[in-house]
Chain A
Amino acid sequence: MSEMKKIKNLKEFSTSADRFEGANLLCPGCAHSIIVREVLNATNDDLVLSASTGCLEVCTAVYPYTSWDASWIHIGFENGSTAVAGAEAMYNALKKKGRLKQPERNPKFISFAGDGASYDIGFQWISGCFERGHNIMHVVLDNEVYANTGGQRSSSTPIGGSNTTTPAGTHSYGEKQNKKDMMAIMAAHGGPYVAQVSPNKWKDMVKKIQHGFSVDGPVFINAASQCCTEWKFDPKDTMHLADLSTDTLAWPLYEIIDGKELNITYRPKNVIPVEEYLAAQGRFKHLFKDEYKYLIKEWQERVDSNWAYLNRREEARV
């Protein structure tokens, strides 16, 4: 049987034994480490982890050091999902053959990857893993940018952001494409569980991670990972940015069960205008010039429209 942690409060949660150590090279204020701790702390079971190339990987396994007190593998940028899928296949093989060293254990197979490694270069590998039904969890640390290589746009980058490959300039407002809807795409794979989470809503996150561990088959978790370096905000404001993202509904929290049953898991009491979320980040600074203010209006319309869509799906139980 799986062993889920029973967590009463944030203090107990934040002081529980870590298998991801605080000794790492991530930027102060980076949400990656918060999310990883929240995911790993959701279970007491053994772990087989992977990280795709990216901030998390280069900051936590620099020889001769490691931040991981659990089995961990990195192969490349695109194939972290398939790395744990391969390990899961070996687990199944050795279980069948009676060769597991600790047959009583019930390991969890988790792949961590950035949005570049999930939405873009690693997309095919994730799709393959989900189609084949491996018993793995893929967690996207979605900071909406290639942060490790210095702020290039990915297909997760939202409209209007200024990035190093889509910079705002005298004749451009920056990124022109809307963010890819990975939640819908992954739900369409028909896996048992797809959920969107944010580190500020840790109880919601832990509940979803534990649900993900309890189902058979591939689980997709899309985690908002606020990036002070590329989004350009003060490192002390990470949780403030997370609160703004969930309370403006720029990052709605919801889950999709078996590819069809959508549940909204957080409804802000007071929905904040999305303008406040944009204003808190240097990457959107140029949108507040007169000629680009229409983009802020469009942002709000897009957020409203998406929220209405999610509500309609929840109501219709589809």
Chain B
Amino acid sequence: MIEEKTLQEMIGKIKACEAEIGRGIIGQRGIIRQLMLAVLADGNVLLEGVPGLGKTEMVKAVSKVFSMTFSRIQFTPDLMPADVTGTNLIIKEEGSNVFQFEKGPVFANLVLADEINRATPKTQSALLEAMQEQTVTVGKTTYPLPQPFMVLATQNPIENEGTYPLPEAQLDRFLFKLLVGFPTKEELRTIMDITVTNENVELQPVIDANDIIMMRKAVRDMPVSDAVMDYALTLVMATHPEFKASPETAKKYVACGASPRAAQAIIKTAKAMALMEGRYNVAFDDIAFVAYPALRHRLILNFEAISAGFGPDYVIHEILEAVKPV
């Protein structure tokens, strides 16, 4: 049973983590917060943004502050699954040749799958088991991945030629899809001050893997009232155009609504959000806040929405407007 003191300490540490990451990453406060939510909710994140926005730096900062082992895999079309998961190598041992499993880069607490959409679906799917089961199976042997484990994948929204868009099944395995935007002028100035001068920001670890595991447990214990749970579920249901009670926008623009995983993602991250804010309960605002990153990659819009130039965020906004808390 988690004691009050422990919980208070956890909340303090989370706030300290957020502040420490913020020291190394200029701006992107919302993205940092959502990244941390994903870490606390035990989920994987898909980061989408044009190159040079600091996605990799952000992931590195997270791993450093969280004292997590970090590995980066640059996805390219010729990347093979074994390059991700690892492979059996023949090694001479006491005069005989034996197979020994050589762990791939996926064996780390934090895996950065850079430009994931550039690899072939076969390689992309190599990550599936790791992301969902947090295990890797090579041959007949299944290897557990180190805990805590999470995948942070990035993809470039432009330069789509020669890419392999992630299939829906794989997209659904990402807890959040975060859109990394361009920094403001002030933020850009600060970035310049840090990166093009001799000034160097050395980030310090604030928590370790055990802390993260405990925090994840605390998040799962967080109570959610019926009303809040009902709101979250209503939101997910509202993304389905086939339901009578769905808002008109969903009926008009959504081809396929969010899966039950979306509801799980919303509830888990809303709980994490409450903990991050030092509360012991989930609020409607938490649900609304996490609805965008949790739903945007799970909604499949129809041609009408695409031709009208409406993205998932517009549809989610309209759904949030239509579905009000009790």
Answer yes or no: do A and B interact.
Answer: no
